[in-house]
Amino acid sequence: MVNAMAQQEPEYDEIGVFLMIQGVGGFEMNAVYMDDKLYLPVGELFGFLKINHELSKNYDSVSGFFLKEQNRYLISHTGQVATVGNEKYPLDKTSLLRTANGLYMRNDVFGRIFGLYLSFNFRSMSIELKTHHELPVIKELRLAVMRKNVSRLKGEVTVDTTLKRQYHPARGGMVDWSVISSQSEGGRSDTRASLGLGAELLGGETNIMLNYSSRTGFEERQQYYRWRWANND
């Protein structure tokens, strides 16, 4: 149990909860459980949702704008009132809780004032957020997906790491060889051999395949040579 800032302030439990937002994901945050009610830190919640906010030094108020700059808001612990635009919402003594760590507000009050409906599941210690607003964090993710799709349509590829190609005058690679001997009816035999070489020569990819047959020897048309150089810079 933790004692609040004022001596007459009731005792409460600090707990960890998992906040879930559809289309965004979730994150863990601290909360306060007192008298069968859940309180969430206004500054921490608004910070995750990317809602403009400023917490007073002594944690007795939070102010900023909600979604639009002209839509100013103020949550006052001292005055026991919340103001959003031209609307005022009287708050009772159980709506807000000020501690040494910040200003907390009861989860259902967020829905009444801001349209942020927070449903708490005590068994799973999780909170589900539902709202009709396009919150800044949701808008930011939507724009990021749109930019990614546009880049994909343009053929732009974003990579994590680029390894620059190094060129060498000569560098060993691989050797592959095989020998096959066969004998047909009449005692006639045929031996075939092949040798494959792969290496880097003068900065380019070099592949050589040599073929030999005991019947025909080295035929020029059966030999394969290739040198390839690519500049990707």
Q: Residue 106: what pLDDT?
A: 97
What is the domain range of residue 211?
170-228
Instruction: Tell me the per-residue pLDDT of 214-224, one tens digit each, with 9 for 90 and over.
Output: 777 777 777 77
Looking at 120, 153, 186, the residue that finishes a domain is: 153
Instruction: Tell me the per-residue pLDDT of 144-191, one tens digit each, with 9 for 90 and over.
Output: 777 777 777 777 666 677 777 777 777 777 888 788 777 766 667 778
Asked whether the predicted pLDDT for residue 112 surpasses 80, the reply is: yes
Looking at 153, 184, 204, the residue that finishes a domain is: 153
Coil vs helix vs strand at 105: strand
Domain count, the chain: 2
Q: Is residue 163 part of a domain?
A: no
Q: Residue 98: what pLDDT?
A: 93
* Nearest Cα to Cα of residue 212 among 200, 201, 220, 204: 220
Average pLDDT, the chain: 84
Q: Is residue 2 part of a domain?
A: no
Whether 119 and 208 share a structural domain: no
Whether 58 and 92 share a structural domain: yes
Pull the structure tokens for residue 61.
């108020």
Q: Is residue 159 part of a domain?
A: no
Q: Which residue has the tokens 């829905």?
A: 111
Q: Looking at per-residue confidence, does 161 or 102 come out higher?
A: 102
